[in-house]
Amino acid sequence: MIFACVLVFATFTACEKNIELDPETALDGTAGFKTKQDVDAALIGCYSALQNANYIGLRYWALTDMYADILAHTGTFPSFAQVANRSILADNVELRNMWQQIYIAINRANNVIASAPGVSDPSFNVNNAIGEARFLRAYNYFNLLILYGGSTTGYNQASGLGVPLVTTPTLTAADAAPKPRNTEAEVWALILEDLDFAAQNMLNSNGVGRANKRVAQALKARAHLFRGEWTLAETAAGDVISTGGYSLVPGATYSDIYLKKNTAEAIWELQFDATNANSIAFFYYPTNLGGRNEMASTTSLRDAHEAGDVRQAVNYTTTPAAKTQKYTRVPGDDNVLLIRLAEMYLIRGEAQARSGKLSDAVNDLNAIRTRAGLGMLSPATADEIVVAIEKERRLEFAHEGHRWFDLRRYNKWSDVGITQEYRALWPIPQREVETSAGIIAQNPGY
């Protein structure tokens, strides 16, 4: 007991002394970023926030695929089991950690947006830097909105629920005061405003793994698809297809999209390496191969493939059983595909079908089917084309975090066994509701 008391006293004494230090390797957020090197370091920090295991580094896309029909829970985490059983409680730690991590990413982007205009350097492209940060802010708010907001019947509808908008840096305790949820329409307005600025001001390239003009245009296509703005979705996706310089990887080497890195199909690929590693393959792989066997491909995903589909071997492996070739590096240096060219074809195809351009839509649908080694389809109606595209999206983007949000877009969440309508929206983390004294309202039903 005496030793413990001394240890505690020593610890607090050390902490008090450390508070007085001025770390030479850290940037003072209250002072802002003063050089272009500061801003670039801060932008790298924005990408680092995405890499976190509570976000794109694992949980955001893996848990939503588990909530759908792509992944099964094979491990021991109770918090994962809630998701797999589609019985999430508002105090689930995974939701709290994801929410917090995404807002950390937003705050980092806000710091760049606020500071970059103050950098005085003729060699510094201020609008490109701000555009990159605004793109990343839009991406983060998009992910928050489609998971925690919208309506039980889809997105961009009257009275849709949003999330709290924070557009200035959080530098003091006062800045961190709880903010009420904005409407879905208000969140969409910020997302589209940020993406428009990014698409107009970013360079064609900012380096491997970083956002650029075409990446912003691709995310605009996705946003317009979710909003049901078919002409805008078709235009944005078509622009990326025709002028982005990307190409579909041939079907014979389809697995190269994942086994190799930064192929011609990658529009935006989050970079990982031995130093900046993720835990994705570790959560997939069995213990005898160095993993923890927490999740696996579902048999329903396996059985959804047609004979001859080259994607089946990638989506549902035989050795090790029921995993995926999309993540195979247990040390954690698999990249994560955030946007790729196949999505642009299927976005454009769906938008064309819903706009009555049926032959064009069928061409885009068959471009993806042909690449997968399958025969061409000839659906006769817009509804038939959309159903076929939904199936292709499930198979093409398995293990990439699209499926649950497609089920929400199509208002088909009951297809995965959900019977309580309110569970179409995930709950706002209960801790956020409680610590805000009710300023942040919970989603109905939780």
Q: DSSP code of 336?
A: E
pLDDT tens readout for residues 184-202? 999 999 999 999 999 999 9
Q: Is 103 exposed, middle or buried (0-12, 13-18, 19+ CB in 10 A)?
A: buried
Q: Are residues 262 and 406 in the same domain?
A: no
Number of structural domains (the chain) is 2
Q: Is residue 51 part of a domain?
A: yes
Q: Are residues 160 and 114 in the same domain?
A: yes
Q: Are residues 271 and 322 in the same domain?
A: yes
Please give the pLDDT value at position 16. 34
Please give the pLDDT value at position 20. 37
Q: Are residues 282 and 139 in the same domain?
A: no
Question: Residue 216 to residues 56, 202, 345, 346, 442: CA-CA distances in angstroms?
Answer: 18, 8, 16, 17, 31
Please give the pLDDT value at position 31. 61
Please give the pLDDT value at position 307. 98
**Secondary structure of residue 365 in the 3-state scheme:** helix
Q: Is residue 442 part of a domain?
A: no
Please give the pLDDT value at position 14. 34
Decide if 149 contacts 161 (C-beta within 8 A). yes
pLDDT above 70 (res 9): no
Please give the pLDDT value at position 29. 53
Q: Are residues 248 and 208 in the same domain?
A: yes
Give the pLDDT mean for 426-442.
Answer: 97
Amino acid (one-letter) located at 186: E
Residue in the block written with tokens 């982007």? 109
Q: Are residues 166 and 242 in the same domain?
A: yes
Closest among 71, 83, 86, 82 to 298, alpha carbons compared: 71
% of the chain beyond a pLDDT of 90: 92
CATH of the domain at 215: 1.25.40.390
Q: Are residues 167 and 178 in the same domain?
A: yes
Contact residues for 369 (Cβ-Cβ < 8 A; gap 6+) = 375, 376, 377, 392
Q: Is residue 27 part of a domain?
A: no
pLDDT above 90 (res 23): no
pLDDT above 90 (res 17): no
Q: Are residues 117 and 260 in the same domain?
A: no
Between CA 149 and CA 172 the distance in angstroms is 27
- Of the three residues 290, 314, 338, the one that is the final residue of a domain is 338
Q: Is residue 46 part of a domain?
A: yes
* CB neighbour burial string for 195-233, b if at least 16 within 10 angstroms, e if fewer: bebbbebbeeebeebbbbbbbbbbbbbbbbbbbebbebb
Q: Are residues 96 and 198 in the same domain?
A: yes
Q: Is residue 18 part of a domain?
A: no
Q: Is residue 69 part of a domain?
A: yes
Closest among 68, 398, 70, 67 to 79, alpha carbons compared: 67
- Of the three residues 316, 338, 360, the one that is the final residue of a domain is 338
Boundaries of domain holding 301: 256-338
Q: Is residue 287 part of a domain?
A: yes
Closest among 136, 133, 149 to 99, alpha carbons compared: 149
pLDDT tens readout for residues 162-185? 999 999 999 999 999 999 999 999
- Of the three residues 287, 304, 338, the one that is the final residue of a domain is 338
Q: Are residues 212 and 302 in the same domain?
A: no
Between CA 86 and CA 327 the distance in angstroms is 25
pLDDT above 60 (res 27): no
Please give the pLDDT value at position 24. 40
Enter the pTM of the model: 0.93
Q: Are residues 310 and 166 in the same domain?
A: no
Q: Are residues 130 and 276 in the same domain?
A: no
Between CA 48 and CA 136 the distance in angstroms is 12
Q: Is residue 322 part of a domain?
A: yes
